Amino acid sequence: MGWLPEVSAIGYGGDYNPEQWPEETWPDDIELMRQAGVNLVSIGVFSWALIEPRPGEYDFGWMDRLFELLHDAGIRISLGTPTASPPAWFFHQHPEARVVTRDGTVLGFGSRGMVSPSSAAYREASTSIARVLARRYGKHPALAIWHVHNEYGAPVSECYSEESTRAFRLWLRDRYGSLDALNEAWGTTFWGQRYGDWDHVSAPAVAASVVNPAQRLDFARFTSDALLQCFVAERDAIRAECPDIPITTNFMAGTCPSVDLWKWADEVDIVANDHYLVAADPRSHVGLALSADLTRSIARGRPWILMEHSPSGVNWQPRNLAKRSGELARNALTHLGRGADAVMFFQWKASRSGAEKFHSAMLPHAGTGSRVWQEVCALGEGLGRLDEVLGSEVRADVAVLWDWESFWAQDLEWRPSEDLSHRERVDAFYDRLWRDGLTVDFAHPESDLSAYRLVVAPASYLLTEVAASNLRRYVENGGTLVVSYFSAIVDANDAVHPGGYVAPLRDVLGLTVEEFLPLRAGETVRLTPTGVVGDVWADDVALEGAEVIAAFEDGPGAGKPAITRHELGAGAAWYVATRLGVDELSVVLRKAYEDAAIEPADGPAEVEIIRRHGENADYLIAVNHGNRPVDLPAGGTDLLTGEAGDSLKLEAGGARVVRVDHSPGGR
């Protein structure tokens, strides 16, 4: 089974916005799609003003014709609801629906994604257009999937309007039930903030000093829920008219921090993601792998859709670097290897006008004679040979803990050091695991971790008692846990745990942290006997049974434990009390691998190898990000070229998809 019922081919295509072009050019576009191997396109994502030019007045003629053209060409449709960009008439009628920023600025028209998610008028208008589209096209044979809205939470998510404030109060009443419970959760006795009337509770707008962090954290939760309610309202409106077609929306896993996708994943039929390389990062392919692994994890291991990525450069970064020759295929196949069963781009045809006219496209301004076009066609041809990969699984022995609520809390003001960064720690640990050739799942701290030999907690600042009990049980049952500094500090209300820092994991780690010892800018600390150097942070660790693997040789924590290991039940827990770079993390993780009985790969650097496991064969997706050819560690048949043998060479900058048949009686 692939990414959609009755679909036996890998999805390939992108956003198609034919309304930007004369209609007589549409047949030529669609013929070029067929040449490129396109079998799926997204349409209608930003077409509200054309579909409903005036309130309640609809024009479907152009979309009807487009549906028929695509259907006749055998190209299926991901139909977008255009609700990420309401028309000018909506804002004219409902100025109260505009987003108000935290400092009180009212955002104007002329962009996208600028509606308050708590606006009743927007909720009514968006569900209405979704319902009308479902009635019109819900039974059309070309329709493959519904694509609701576009990138919820981007470019804005929070809104501090009066309507949002009223909705926040209702959300709080539902969460806490009483003002006494709210005051307790927020610790309002501090700075005399106690509330005696619900009407006195407001959104945490800019104030004279730092606003109550528990209030800020709850507003982040509320914002994610408010956006999700918008999606659910549209989804339910569509489902009432069109119950048999799957419904999704495009996440931005790892790059849009304002939505808790663990919750969102339960509300979509299929998980979809958008990913764009960070051009300034010379190792952006590792960030791509992280995003893909996170998306697969959000999907609970099920097939997912890469809804957008770029054929070459984007247009919104400070320096929009073009992809190198072959990078388009490497990026696409990495996503495929990490679980995507559809590979889509933004967009099909480069726009001549508007804010994204310099964004790359499958059919660029340079036309069919361009390098990008040739690579797009080659990728389409290659993906057409990989249909048997559909539905195969990616398996991981390692999980990295990822919790949006913890990240929201850690990123608030007045933390012990401005150099603390949850994302930097996640990236560093992930990069080390990537270099060691290990496939990674991401997991919520309260989720079932029993399938993993190793669990890494790079940044679990907010850790609930439920999560701590889950980690304790994991270690006791034989798991290996690695915890980095500034973890298990606060509870769900951003209050320090009773018993002090790391209290919920005190018995798991065999230690307590008595004091934070953040370092000055540029200051480093040396660890003995390892000789590695840390920076940014040190903890004043007091041992309660843990074994010292390395100690601080100098700095404010001189003589104190820096790396520890503690056995609990059948497992072991490691603690790292300073910031170690990607190379230095080997000191900890190589030893943790031994505890977990994991064998890191010792292959060539910058060669990425992922396995997808099928019923009759495994599929080795190998991508060479380096500048030298290498021999693959396993033979088989390259589905892209048909080449077979016991040893296959992977060219510099190349990629292969190798089928390795299961041995008789095994997998």
What is the C-alpha separation between 470 and 178, in angstroms, rounded? 30
- 557 alpha carbon, distance to own chain's centre: 36
Q: Detail the DSSP E strand segments found in 290-390.
A: 304-308, 340-345
Tokens 């008439």 found at: 89
411 token code pair:
């990123």
For the chain, the first-to-last Cα distance in angstroms comes to 19
What is the C-alpha separation between 111 and 122, in angstroms, rounded? 16
Closest CA to 490 of 423, 407, 568, 567: 407
Tokens 């208008």 found at: 125
What is the C-alpha separation between 639 and 661, in angstroms, rounded? 12
Would you call 151 a catalytic residue per the annotation? Answer: yes
* Cβ proximity of 443 and 481 under 8 Å: no
484 token code pair:
């980095």
Q: Detail the DSSP E strand segments found in 554-648.
A: 561-568, 571-576, 607-613, 617-624, 630-631, 636-638, 644-645
Helix (H, G, I), strand (E, B) or coil at 572: strand
Which contacts qualify for 348-356: CB closer than 8 Å, 24 or more apart? 348/13, 348/14, 348/15, 348/16, 348/17, 348/29, 348/33, 348/38, 348/41, 349/16, 349/17, 349/20, 349/21, 349/29, 351/17, 351/20, 352/20, 353/20, 354/20, 355/111, 355/315, 356/315, 356/316
CA distances, 389 to each of 14, 334, 361, 502 (Å): 21, 13, 26, 44
Q: Name 369's Cβ contacts closer than 8 Å, sequence gap at least 6.
A: none
Q: Half-sphere exposure (CA, 13 Å, Cβ side) for 216?
A: 19
- 212 alpha carbon, distance to own chain's centre: 28
Catalytic residue among 158, 234, 308, 584: 308
CB atoms within 10 A of CB 652: 13
What is the C-alpha separation between 468 and 490, in angstroms, rounded? 12
660 burial level (CB within 10 Å; 0-12, 13-18, 19+): middle
630 token code pair:
């290498």
What is the C-alpha separation between 601 and 589, in angstroms, rounded? 13
Would you call 424 a catalytic residue per the annotation? Answer: no
Amino acid at 94: H
* Cβ proximity of 10 and 343 under 8 Å: yes
268 token code pair:
């979509």
Tell me which residues are annotated as active site.
Answer: 151, 308
